Structure 1
Amino acid sequence: MKTMAYGLKMIEALHNEDLEGAHALLDQAIENDSDEEHFDLAEQLLQLGFLDEAEALYGTLLINYPGEGELLVALAEISVDRDDEDTALAYLEQVHPEDENYPRALLVLADLYQSQGLFEVTEQKLQEAKDMLPEEPIIDFALAEHYNQMGRFSNAINHYNAVSEAGIGEISGVLMHQRLAECYSSGGAFEEAIRHYEEALEQRANTDTLFGLAFTAYQAHKMVRAIEAFNQLKELDPNYTSLYPYLAKAYEHENRLVEAFTVIKEGTVLDNFNKELYYEGGKLALKLDDEKAAEKYLRETLVLDPHFMEAALTLNKLFLKQEDYPAVIDLSGWMEQENEEIDPQLDWDMALAHKELEEYDKAGKAFEKALTRYQDNPLFLKDYGYFMREEGNVKRALELWNKYLGYEPEDDEIIQEVSYLNERE
C-alpha cells in the first residue's frame, strides 16, 4: 500500500494550522516526493499564499528541467507578487518563443510593462500573444482591460464582447457585462450601458454595479429609473454615501424638493465631511425658502472647503437678498484671505455692500478690482457706470456705459443716460 506523499501531509498540516510541522514536511517532500508531486504541491502552496515554499519547489524542479516555460512563468509570477520586477523579467526572458507557455509569459510581461507605464510595449506584447492564440479568451480579456485603462473604450468593448461570445461571463471575479456597461457609459452610450448593468446585476448583486446603473440612468436624464436604483442601493447599503448627492439631485430634477432635502439630511448624518452634500443642501433649502437652513449648510460647506467658490457666491447672494451687507463684506474678505485668487463676483458683491453702507471709497476700490476681470461683463459695466455717475465722475461713467452699449446697443435706459451726460458735458 502506497504511503501518503509528504506534500499531501504538508497541506494537511497547513489546514490544521501546524506551521512548524508543515515546514518540516516540506524538507522531506523536496527530498522524497516525485517531480510531479513537487509540481502539484507548489501549485497548492501558491494558491494558499505560501510564496517562499512554492518558489523553493519550482526552483528545485527548474534544476531538473532547465528552460521549462511553465516553471519559468510560475517563478516570474511569484517575483511579480513580491514586486521584484527585475527577477521576473529575467525569468520571462528565458522562455523560448516556441514554448507552449510563451503566450502566458507575454501576458505577464504585459502586466509588468503596464505597471511601469510602458503602454505601447504592453499593447505590443498583448497583440503578439493574440496573434499566437487568436481564439484565447484570456488574451482578449487582457487586451480589453488594457484598452479600458487607456480610455480606448471602443477597442475594449470589442474584446470584452469576444470573451462573452466565447461563453465566458466572468474572469477573475470580473463580470463582462459590468465592464461593458462601464465602457459604454464612459463613451456616452448610456442606453447600452444600462442594459449591461442590468444584465450584470442579474448575475450578481453588487453595490458598485448598482451605483453604476443608477449614475448612468442619472446621466441619461432617466431620473425615475435613477431614483429607483439609488433607493435600492440605499436600502442595500445605507453607508454607500456617494449615492446621496445624486439621489437628491434626481429628486430635485423631478421637483420633489422635500424628498431631496430629506436625502441630504440623511447623507450628512452618515458623512459629515462631504462638502457636496452640504452645498446641495444649501441650494435646496433656498428653493424651499428656508434661508436659515440654507445659511447653515452653505457655511458648513465652506468650513469643509474654504476654496469652494460656488458655495461662497451662493451664500453672498443670500446675504445681499437679506440686505445683510456686513455679512457680505466679512465673507468676501474671509475668502480673499483663504484663497490666492477669488472669483471677481465676490469683489463685485463687496462693492455693492460698501455702496449700500455708504462706504464709497471702499466701494470704488472693490469695483475697480473687479473690473480687471469683468471688463467684458455687460451687467458689471452697467452697474459700475451707475456708481461712477452717482460719485460725480461723469467721464468715467460715460466710458463704462459706452463700452456697455457695445454689448447691449438697444438698452434705451442707458442710451438716454449717455445722451443726458453728453449734453451736460
Structure 2
Amino acid sequence: MDIQKKMIDAIQQGDLEGIQNLLEDFKIQVDPDMQYEVVGFFMNFGFLDEADELLEHLQYLFPDEAQLKIDRATLLMEREQEDEALNLFMSISPDAPEYPQVLLALADYYQMQGLYEVSEQRINEALDLLPDEPLLHFSKAELLMEMGRFTEAARKYHELYEAQTEIAGVRLVERLAEVHRAGAAFEEALTFYKKALEDNTSPDLLFGAAYSAFQSQMYETAIHYAEDLKTLDPDYFSAYLLLAQSYAMLENNKKAFEIIREGLTRDEYDKELYLFAGKMALKNSLPKEAEEYLRQAIALDSEYMEAIITLVSILSKEERDEEIIELIEHLEQESFDWSTLSAFAAVSYDRLENYERAYDFYQLAYNDHKEDPLFLEKYAYFLIEDGKREEAQAVVNQLIALQPDEPTWQDLLQTFE
C-alpha cells in the first residue's frame, strides 16, 4: 500500500498516531497537488494541527502562492490565531486575482467581531473588483440582514433570486421568507414561506409560515401551519403557544386551553406556556386553575412580571389582600420596584385599614397611573377620607382633564369649595 493510501486510511480511521508517523515521509514522497488535497481531508476530519503543518510546508515550497496563504490564514482564524492570520492576509497584493477572497475573508472576520461597518467596507471593496460576483452580493445581503437593515437585505436577496434559486447551499426563497419576517413584513414573508414549503417541508419553515400568518391576522392559516408542525414534530414546543394563541384570537378559548395544556405535557419548564394557560383558564371561568398555572410560571421565574401582575389581579378581585401584601413585600425585599404592583398594594393596604402604607403605595403608583381614571378615582376618595384635601383636589382635576364630560368629577370638585 502506498503512503498516500495509508494516510487517507489513517485519517478516516481517526488514527492520530498513524498520521503522525506518516506525515514527514508524506511531505517528501507525495506530490504537492495530492498534499493539498489531503489538507481538505485533515480539515473535514478535524485534524487542524496536521492540516496547518501540511499547509505551512506547502507555503514553504510555494511562498508566492496567494491561495495557500488564504487557505492557511482561514485555518488560523478557525484556530483563533487571528494576528498570524491577519498578517498572512495582508501579505497578499491587492493586484492578485485572489484578492477579493482576502477581502471576503476579512469581512467575515470583522463581522464575527461585531465590526459591521468595517465588514461592509471590505465587501464593498470586493464588489468594486468583481461587481457581478453573486457570492459577494449574497455575503452583502447576509451582513445587511445581521445588521438589521432588512429592506436593503431583502432587495439583495430578490436580485439574486431572479437569477438563481440557491447559493452557497442556501435556498434563497427561504432567506427571503426569513428577511421579510425579521423586518415585520409578514404578508410578504408568508408568500415566500408558502413557496419554500412547496419543495421542502421542515419544522422551522412551518413555524415561520404559522407565525407570519398570525402576525398578518390570518389566524385560520396560522392554525393550519401550526397543526401541520405539531403533527410533523410534536416536540417543537413553540408550536403549542402559537397554535393556542391563534385559537384564542378566533375566540375559541376552550380549544386554546386544550392546546396549551397539551403543550405543557411536552414542555413543563416553559414559563410562557404556564402564563398563557393561566390566562386561558380565566377565559374559561376557571380561576383556581388559573392561579395554579400562574404560580407555576412564577416558580420558574420569580421575576416574571406579567405572571405576577396577572396573579395579583386575581387575588385583588377576590380581595385576598393578605396574600397580595405578602407577595409584594417579598418583592420589595428583593429590591423590585414595580409601579403596577404599587397600585394593587395601595388598594390592599387601604382595605386592610393600614392607611399609612396605603398612602405610600398610592404615591408610588401615581406617576405611572395618572392616565388611569379607575386608579385616580380610588386615590381621590382615599385622600378625601384621609383628610388630604389639597392632594385630593389635584387628583380630581386630573380626572376632569381626562374625562371632562363626566359630571361626577365636577360634583366632587365642588365639595372642596
TM score, norm. by length of structure 1: 0.90
Number of aligned residue pairs: give it: 417
Is the CA contact 1:336–1:342 (under 8 Å) kept in the aligned structure 2? no
Deviates more, 1:81-90 or 1:408-417: 408-417
SS of 1:66's partner is coil
Partner of 2:373: 378
Query: Structure 1 residue aligned with 2:227, among 225, 231, 239?
Result: 231
1:20 partnered with 2:29:
no
Partner of 1:254: 250
Query: Structure 1 residue aligned with 2:352, among 353, 357, 364?
Result: 357
Partner of 1:323: 319
Pairing of 1:129-168 with structure 2 (within 5 A):
129-168=126-165
Partner of 1:108: 105
Deviates more, 1:385-394 or 1:238-247: 385-394
Give the deviation of 1:291 after TM superposition.
0.6
Partner of 2:115: 118
Residues 241-281 of structure 1 show CA distances to partners (whole Å, capped at 9, x for unaligned) of 22222221111001111221122212223322222111111
1:263 partnered with 2:259:
yes
Cα 1:237–1:339 change in 2 (3 A) is farther
Unaligned runs of 5+ in 2: none
Is the CA contact 2:240–2:259 (under 8 Å) kept in the aligned structure 1? yes
Q: CA RMSD in A?
A: 2.3
**How high is the sequence identity, in percent, across the aligned residues?**
36
The letter for the 1-side match of 2:319 is: E
Deviates more, 1:285-294 or 1:403-412: 403-412
The letter for the 1-side match of 2:30 is: D
The letter for the 2-side match of 1:123 is: E
SS of 2:60's partner is helix
The letter for the 2-side match of 1:237 is: D
The letter for the 2-side match of 1:203 is: D
Unaligned runs of 5+ in 1: none
Query: Structure 1 residue aligned with 2:36, among 19, 36, 39?
Result: 39
Residues 15-67 of structure 1 show CA distances to partners (whole Å, capped at 9, x for unaligned) of 34544334333322211122222222223333333222222222222222212
Cα 1:361–1:65 change in 2 (3 A) is closer
Distance 1:420 1:117 in 2: 63
Partner of 1:97: 94
Residues 124-157 of structure 1 show CA distances to partners (whole Å, capped at 9, x for unaligned) of 2111222222222221221111111111122222
Pairing of 1:272-283 with structure 2 (within 5 A):
272-283=268-279
Distance 2:283 2:68 in 1: 67
Deviates more, 1:102-111 or 1:4-13: 4-13
Partner of 2:341: 346
SS of 2:276's partner is helix
Partner of 1:294: 290
TM score, norm. by length of structure 2: 0.91
Cα 1:205–1:403 change in 2 (3 A) is closer
Distance 2:363 2:125 in 1: 64
Query: Structure 1 residue aligned with 2:307, among 294, 305, 311?
Result: 311
SS of 1:410's partner is coil
Is the CA contact 1:8–1:41 (under 8 Å) kept in the aligned structure 2? no
Is the CA contact 2:165–2:173 (under 8 Å) kept in the aligned structure 1? no
Distance 1:143 1:393 in 2: 65
Pairing of 1:379-394 with structure 2 (within 5 A):
379-391=374-386, 393-394=388-389
1:207 partnered with 2:207:
no
Is the CA contact 2:194–2:209 (under 8 Å) kept in the aligned structure 1? yes
